[in-house]
Structures are given as C-alpha cells and as structure tokens.
Amino acid sequence: MSEAFTKVMARNIFYGGSLFFLLLFLALTFDTEGTLPERDNRQAITGKVAMGKRLWENNDCIGCHTLLGEGAYFAPELGNAYKRLGGKAGIIGFIESRPKDGIPGRRSMPQFNFTDEELDAIAEFLKYSSEINTANWPPNIQG
C-alpha cells in the first residue's frame, strides 16, 4: 500500500466505519422491530404455542429439520409442515406413528412418546410458524 496512506488513516477508517455501520445496523433493527407486529403473527402466540416452542427446543428438533430454512438439512423443512401435512391432524399423526427402532436402512424420526397435550402444542407451534409472513419462502410446498 502506498506511503501516502498511513496507518493512522487506516485506523480511523476502521473506527469510524465500524461505528457508523454499527449505528446504522441498530437503526435498521429498531425499524424492523416496528414492522414486525404486522408480519410475525404474534397475535397467534398463545400459551399452547409457547409450550410447543419449548418442546421444539427441548427435543432439539432443529438438529435434523430446518424451520424457515434454518437448522439442519437432514430432514424436511417444517415452516410449512402445517400446510404440507394437511393441518394439525397430519402433523400429530406423523409424529405419533414413528417406529421406536427406526426404519431399517432409512432415516427415521425418533419416537418421542409425547402426551396428547404435548402433540397438540407442537402442532399449534407449527401452525403459528406457518402463518409468519416469510416473503413467499419456501418457493413451493415441498419446502
């Protein structure tokens, strides 16, 4: 790099640039928070949905699945599972029917032995997730 461009100038670009873009990022985040109520389906968050989210977390579902495209890529996307599996009954039926010892040679979801209330909570959580405005993602029902 040329001699005219000094270390002090480089340092000032670092501090000034970082600070400026950090503040811009905070401002954009603040604005985002303001627009979220119209997009994030928060009015649907009931006690049941919160319970479903906790079950989702406490069983590390994200370790195989994606949810809104984030997570692991071993098992199907679940942000639209409510639509793909045909509503709550489809979701509950699928989770309930997983064989304890898996399926020979194939990937299989574990049998979690959820109670009926827990199954309903998970389905409610996935219903809530499917109604978040995701700018039309995923491109089709296959996720």
**Looking only at residues 31 through 70 of this chain, which bind another protein when binding is defined by CB under 8 A?**
31-33, 35-36, 39-42, 45, 49-50, 53-54, 56-64, 66-70
The amino acid at 134: T
Of 30, 97, 101, 116, the one binding another protein by CB under 8 A: 101
Going by the DSSP 8-state scheme, the letter that residue 43 receives in this structure is: G
Question: Would you state the structure tokens that stand for residue 47, as one six-digit string?
Answer: 């006690």
Q: Is position 116 an interface residue for another protein (rule: CB under 8 A)?
A: no
The SS3 of residue 103 is strand
- Residues in binding contact with another protein, number by CB under 8 A: 75
First to last CA, the chain: 48
Q: Is position 104 an interface residue for another protein (rule: CB under 8 A)?
A: yes
C-alpha 91/C-alpha 126 separation (Å) is 9
C-alpha 69/C-alpha 27 separation (Å) is 26
Q: State in angstroms the smallest separation of the CB of 19 from another protein.
A: 9
Q: State in angstroms the smallest separation of the CB of 89 from another protein.
A: 19
Of 25, 86, 96, 117, the one binding another protein by CB under 8 A: 25
Q: Is position 28 an interface residue for another protein (rule: CB under 8 A)?
A: yes
H-run or E-run covering 82: helix 81-84
Q: Is position 129 an interface residue for another protein (rule: CB under 8 A)?
A: yes
Q: Is position 97 an interface residue for another protein (rule: CB under 8 A)?
A: no
57 or 96: CB nearest another protein: 57
Q: State in angstroms the smallest separation of the CB of 34 from another protein.
A: 9
Distances (CA, A) of 127 to 49, 70, 96: 9, 17, 17
